[in-house]
């Protein structure tokens, strides 16, 4: 790489003289230069030179030893999402590197900034099937925003500077840097300058003012405009701009799964959650609005249902920083390729102050239907076993909606995100696009370290919990104060629900015979309890939440509960089922 293709920040005046150090030490200095203070990882042969140097920097760089590399990468994801910084994880070559792949794929589809560093066999051994050699650059190519293999120590600062720049800028994503063992041992004169530009990469497109005017015109003329809020709002930090836009225009706004918490649940314009298990109104009104304003979202199939019958009546304004998202799923009548913050600011200035009270009331009418048919009985049940929804309602009340809620994948995830009343942004951390079971427990560790001032709750099903249960060891060792909740229905609940609804109740491989989770948690010396009856629920939840340090609570819930509303696969959003 020459300086013509990449630009760096000018050297800071107070910078120390160049010094001759090893590649391993250069990795550490590069991380420190990027402001990294916490990393997640797992050592092994090919990354040992790095770990050896790390020993000398323990006061500056906290290393959280996970119990599996998948735990490290999910923790880095949780850390990134809670702290708004780049998450960093480290693994060795071969199995260490391949174990990162699920988390990297998850970060790619959910736009989470990560820098993953993997050790690699020494460069002369590349391609020889050496011990723990695997082509991680090849394997990770489809699931990384960028990756690179370093074979010379002197490449380290420049490549890492580029890695951090690419991971965090534009639409964020995971970057993997594979570093051969000889590059870690090699010595060179270290000098670090942050990357500020690449000629082949324009992270933030220039806002096209004519498109903004066209969009404002559509919005000003609209009778039933409707805003869909995606994670792009959070990634752009555009919460205040979104609020100002909604307050001025009076437009109702719904959120995607990953957009949750960008608007507080009690925001006057907020009408609920979109998608397969989203709220009733937000789904059916998609096919009744006349202008659809999508902000930083990508029309996932879980949001759109059948695309051929999705918002056909509406003019679509699609704001996204990623040009490739425009027209990918839903044709945009007015695309605005820009950062959400900048676009919303410009749009607010051009839009007329309005109210859409009648239109807003239509959503409220839908809410009442949903409340009667679905919510009342699951949130306030009087008999039968405990429901997931009532557990979440209690937690939401007990934490005043102030916690970070990290969810796994399945029924509990949908229920938690339907009923937790988020008050603060960056509070919903979940595996959205990839739907990675086992995400929540390790991600909650990262979230707790990334936002130490905030309470962090992990809500997990009995299936997903057992996919990364070993991370209880990490939580114990580092006393990470996460509150772990397992909603146990002794089933892979979401799959079972589909089997009930679409496969004539053939419960193939969904019933779980579980171990005693409380005993397991206690084995890790984590405070642990189980709730089986409604009468004990609230007190147990209070004790669990108030316990200093990590704590575990298992709630035995209704076994064959279904999550509604539901837009069945292939159905239109207007065919959302309430029962």
Partner 1 sequence: MIHLFSLGVFTEDKIGLLNRTTGIFTRRNISIESLTVSETELSGVFRFNIKIKTTHEQIQKVAGQIEKLIEVLRVQVFEEDETIYQEIALYKVPTSELIKSDNIERLVRLHSARILYVGPEFMVIEKTGHKEETQQLFADLEPFGILEFVRSGRIFVSKSTENLISYLSKVESHPTQLQPIV
Q: Is the dihedral of CA 153, 158, 162, 164 positive or negative?
A: positive
| Min dist. Cβ of residue 162 to partner 1 (A) | 9
Asked if 307 interacts with partner 1 (CB under 8 A), we say no
Asked if 60 interacts with partner 1 (CB under 8 A), we say no
Nearest to 358 by CA among 285, 309, 264, 275: 285
| Min dist. Cβ of residue 323 to partner 1 (A) | 6
Q: Could you tell me if 276 and 566 are in contact, meaning their C-beta atoms sit under 8 angstroms apart? A: yes
Burial class (CB in 10 A: 0-12, 13-18, 19+), 536: middle
CA distance 205 to 339: 7
| Min dist. Cβ of residue 149 to partner 1 (A) | 7
Asked if 198 interacts with partner 1 (CB under 8 A), we say yes
Considering the complex, state which of residue 324 and residue 349 has its C-beta at the smaller distance from partner 1: 324
Q: Could you tell me if 295 and 325 are in contact, meaning their C-beta atoms sit under 8 angstroms apart? A: no
- Contact range with partner 1 by CB under 8 A, out of 34-42, 144-152, 241-249, 299-307: 144-152
Considering the complex, state which of residue 135 and residue 191 has its C-beta at the smaller distance from partner 1: 135
Q: Is the dihedral of CA 71, 399, 372, 429 positive or negative?
A: negative
Which of 185, 201, 476, 498 is close enough to bind partner 1 by CB under 8 A?
Answer: 201
Considering the complex, state which of residue 8 and residue 564 has its C-beta at the smaller distance from partner 1: 8
Which of 95, 124, 127, 142 is close enough to bind partner 1 by CB under 8 A?
Answer: 142
Residues 203-222 that bind partner 1 (CB under 8 A): 203
Considering the complex, state which of residue 149 and residue 551 has its C-beta at the smaller distance from partner 1: 149
Considering the complex, state which of residue 323 and residue 522 has its C-beta at the smaller distance from partner 1: 323
User: Taking the mean position of all CA atoms in its chain, how far away is CA 550?
Assistant: 22
| Min dist. Cβ of residue 237 to partner 1 (A) | 22
Cα atoms in the Cβ-side hemisphere of radius 13 Å centred on 313: 13
Asked if 364 interacts with partner 1 (CB under 8 A), we say no
| Min dist. Cβ of residue 361 to partner 1 (A) | 39
Asked if 145 interacts with partner 1 (CB under 8 A), we say yes
State whether residue 424 is helix, strand or coil: coil
Considering the complex, state which of residue 197 and residue 543 has its C-beta at the smaller distance from partner 1: 197
CA distance 188 to 92: 23
Asked if 197 interacts with partner 1 (CB under 8 A), we say yes
Which of 32, 126, 137, 571 is close enough to bind partner 1 by CB under 8 A?
Answer: 137
Cα atoms in the Cβ-side hemisphere of radius 13 Å centred on 261: 24
Rg of the Cα atoms in the chain: 24
| Min dist. Cβ of residue 301 to partner 1 (A) | 15
Q: What strands, in cross-sheet order, belong to the sheet with 334-337?
A: 270-273, 253-255, 225-229, 291-295, 315-320, 334-337
CA distance 216 to 225: 11
Element at 448 (helix H, strand E):
helix 440-450
- Contact range with partner 1 by CB under 8 A, out of 237-245, 268-276, 318-326, 370-378: 318-326
Asked if 146 interacts with partner 1 (CB under 8 A), we say yes
Considering the complex, state which of residue 80 and residue 176 has its C-beta at the smaller distance from partner 1: 176
Asked if 5 interacts with partner 1 (CB under 8 A), we say yes
Asked if 138 interacts with partner 1 (CB under 8 A), we say yes
Asked if 202 interacts with partner 1 (CB under 8 A), we say yes
Asked if 327 interacts with partner 1 (CB under 8 A), we say yes
- Cβ contacts of residue 64 below 8 Å, gap of 6+? 38, 39, 40, 41, 72, 75, 445, 449, 474, 478, 480
Asked if 164 interacts with partner 1 (CB under 8 A), we say no
State whether residue 230 is helix, strand or coil: coil
Asked if 328 interacts with partner 1 (CB under 8 A), we say yes
Rounded to a whole number of angstroms, the distance between the first and last alpha carbons of the chain is 59
Q: Across-strand partners of 203? A: none
Asked if 141 interacts with partner 1 (CB under 8 A), we say yes
Asked if 7 interacts with partner 1 (CB under 8 A), we say yes
Considering the complex, state which of residue 43 and residue 173 has its C-beta at the smaller distance from partner 1: 173
Active site residue ranges: 69, 131-132, 181, 494
CA distance 460 to 488: 8
The H-assigned helical ranges of 132-208 are: 136-140, 156-168, 181-185
Which of 102, 134, 147, 551 is close enough to bind partner 1 by CB under 8 A?
Answer: 147
Which of 322, 527, 536, 575 is close enough to bind partner 1 by CB under 8 A?
Answer: 322
Q: Could you tell me if 192 and 157 are in contact, meaning their C-beta atoms sit under 8 angstroms apart? A: yes
CA distance 193 to 157: 8
- Contact range with partner 1 by CB under 8 A, out of 43-51, 140-148, 271-279, 346-354: 140-148
Which of 199, 308, 358, 383 is close enough to bind partner 1 by CB under 8 A?
Answer: 199
- Contact range with partner 1 by CB under 8 A, out of 45-53, 55-63, 200-208, 231-239: 200-208
Asked if 323 interacts with partner 1 (CB under 8 A), we say yes
**Residues interacting with partner 1, by CB under 8 A?**
2-5, 7, 137-138, 141-142, 145-147, 149, 166, 197-203, 322-324, 326-328
């Amino acid at each position: 790489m020459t300086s013509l293709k990449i630009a760096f920040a000018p050297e800071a005046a107070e910078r120390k003289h160049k010094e001759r150090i090893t590649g391993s030490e250069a990795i550490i200095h590069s991380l420190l230069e990027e402001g990294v203070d916490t990393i997640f990882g797992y050592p092994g042969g090919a990354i040992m030179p790095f770990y050896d140097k790390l020993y000398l920097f323990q006061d500056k760089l906290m290393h959280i030893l996970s119990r599996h590399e998948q735990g490290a990468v999910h923790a880095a994801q949780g850390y990134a999402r809670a702290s708004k910084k780049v998450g960093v994880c480290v693994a060795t070559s071969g199995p260490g590197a391949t174990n990162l792949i699920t988390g990297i794929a998850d970060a790619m589809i959910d736009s989470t900034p990560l820098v993953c560093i993997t050790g690699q066999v020494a460069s002369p051994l590349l391609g020889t099937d050496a011990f723990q050699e695997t082509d991680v650059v090849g394997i990770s190519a489809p699931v990384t925003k960028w990756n690179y293999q370093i074979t010379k120590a002197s490449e380290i600062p420049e490549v890492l500077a580029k890695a951090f720049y690419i991971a965090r800028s534009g639409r964020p994503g995971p970057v993997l840097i594979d570093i051969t063992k000889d590059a870690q041992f090699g010595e060179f004169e270290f000098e670090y300058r942050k990357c500020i530009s690449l000629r082949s990469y324009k992270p933030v497109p220039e806002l096209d003012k004519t498109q903004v005017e066209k969009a404002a015109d559509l919005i000003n003329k609209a009778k039933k405009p409707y805003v869909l809020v995606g994670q792009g709002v959070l990634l752009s930090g555009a919460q205040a701009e979104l609020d100002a836009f909604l307050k001025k225009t009076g437009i109702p706004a719904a959120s995607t799964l990953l957009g949750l918490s960008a608007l507080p649940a009690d925001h006057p314009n907020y009408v609920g959650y979109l998608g397969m298990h989203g709220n009733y109104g937000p789904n059916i009104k998609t096919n009744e609005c006349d202008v659809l304003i999508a902000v930083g979202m990508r029309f996932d199939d879980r949001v759109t249902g059948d695309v051929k019958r999705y918002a056909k009546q509406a003019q679509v304004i699609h704001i996204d920083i990623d040009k490739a998202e425009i027209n990918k799923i839903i044709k945009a009548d007015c695309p605005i390729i820009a950062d959400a913050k900048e676009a919303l600011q410009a749009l607010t200035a051009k839009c007329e102050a309005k109210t859409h009270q009648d239109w807003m009331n239509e959503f409220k009418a839908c809410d009442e239907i949903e409340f009667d048919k679905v919510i009342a009985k699951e949130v306030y049940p009087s008999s039968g076993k405990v429901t997931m929804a009532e557990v979440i309602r209690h937690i939401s009340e007990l934490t005043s909606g102030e916690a970070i809620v990290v969810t796994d994948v399945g029924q509990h995830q949908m229920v938690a995100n339907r009923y937790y009343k988020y008050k603060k942004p960056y509070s919903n951390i979940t595996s959205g696009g990839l739907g990675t079971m086992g995400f929540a427990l390790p991600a909650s560790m990262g979230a707790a370290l990334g936002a130490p001032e905030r309470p962090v709750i992990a809500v997990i099903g009995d299936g997903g919990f057992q996919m990364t249960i070993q991370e209880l060891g990490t939580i114990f060792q580092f006393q990470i104060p996460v509150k772990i909740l397992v909603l146990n229905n002794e089933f892979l609940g979401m799959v079972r629900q589909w089997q009930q609804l679409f496969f004539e109740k053939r419960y193939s491989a969904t019933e779980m015979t579980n171990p005693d989770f409380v005993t397991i948690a206690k084995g890790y010396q984590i405070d642990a309890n189980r709730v089986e009856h409604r009468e004990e629920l609230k007190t147990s939840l209070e004790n669990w939440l108030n316990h200093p340090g990590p704590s575990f609570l298992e709630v035995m819930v209704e076994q064959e509960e279904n999550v509604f509303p539901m837009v069945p696969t292939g159905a239109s959003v207007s065919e959302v089922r309430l029962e």
